[in-house]
Structure 1
């Protein structure tokens, strides 16, 4: 509720059609006229800028204070913002299924009982625009290869795309919540701020800086025989099979082939054990000693282990 003091200049601001004591009974004043006042609480003086105004429709039955140079009270459409009471932002902290939404719903019910706000149901809180915009993250599933992972830890997402950083906000195994996952566990990790499109099969989650993506390496490879389900014919340098690394297939090119004596070879026969240089078309999180399979046409034709990383 704002108030405006009408000084001696109030008459100069009144339009000629504004009803006065002598004209209030005339037929021409039967229709209400629009009066424009400044939306301000300071005194009005002659020459005041009237660009920001509140439109008022005067009532003939009212005894207008403006007419007598008194105080005009303007009632705004919205309530006045009071600064007399402290304003608190209440936040609940915890990871997945720790009861954050339940606690928030209880707080809204308690406040509603005091008449200060409307209660919110459990499902209304999770469906709030802020929650939909923020999201809870994306769950990535896989096996813990080594080490441990805990809720709240920061991890790198490595491979296939530029490395990204995120935080683990939840750990689950067999639909049960864990505080920590150990090596060998098949778990689902809730990753903060990640979308489904940000995660691809074959990516690796690791402690920041412990593993990096590479596209070129030297490897020792055994080529399966025909009797072992392998190829029926030899292959040469330039061969482009699929390299199955951890959980994904990546196309790669065999750029060079060497025998056990590190002598360059032009051809690899089924059953041979050779050293080869491989160049992948996409970066993969790999390291020395990591094993992989060579696939062609949906079947495995060889197996190898990375001997050294080139780039």
Structure 2
């Protein structure tokens, strides 16, 4: 089947879910795709929970490992959504996901409040300069109705304190209360629906609270490689978020990083299984590379305009050691 062409008619924004394991990040991701598909139609396609956690190891363990990319749109914008793993072992993947975000949706279960990984993810969002955070307070339906309001207010205060601690504007950040599971199960997409309403409110908040990102279109093309795939009969595809510049089919590029710099040609650019005329800064794309074996390129290298960048062997780094409370080591 021929692939559809990606129609760039709306501003493109990268968002993602972060937060503690089992607080509902993947459920919320699925709920957003279902509710927006019902509410707005268009290119929105409902995605089941188990299609997001799609690696065999993830299904077996019931947790998200690598970062998973979904797409959805509101009447105003097109969103690429990264579902980040919440499990402590996978912090590296969380960083590759977070570094791509224009805004993060912090998911906190009202039943638990902020947990060690909630703090760790907020800290990471600060370290990799995620500019905006919106909070989705999940599982509100599981609180006892008798003292629900009081409990929710306490949890919200805790979240705002935590955000302030890591230099986000905790006092003004939007917090949306809801149940991702109820919304995923209902999926009617009606604003007045108790389950789906909060999801539509979240989408509206993304549209209004997060400004349209400024993109570096005019600089030389650069894309850090997040993943490498081999497609039978077509060759090697590298994926990542374009940091700056533009890439078109037929462009000569360099693979820079470990070992020798290699030259290759981009023979196709795709986003969400649709063909792009050009990939521009901010897009999450896959680039098909001519005559490059899967073993000749790896995550951590970059794809760049020839001669525009050189690998460095020395760099200055800022090291932050997690405290015991933040999920770090208990002993020095």
Higher helix share: 2
Question: Rg bigger for which structure?
Answer: 1
Looking at both structures, which has the greater relative contact order when contacts are Cα pairs under 8 Å and sequence separation is at least 6?
2
Q: TM-score, normalised by structure 2?
A: 0.29
Higher strand share: 1
Q: TM-score, normalised by structure 1?
A: 0.31
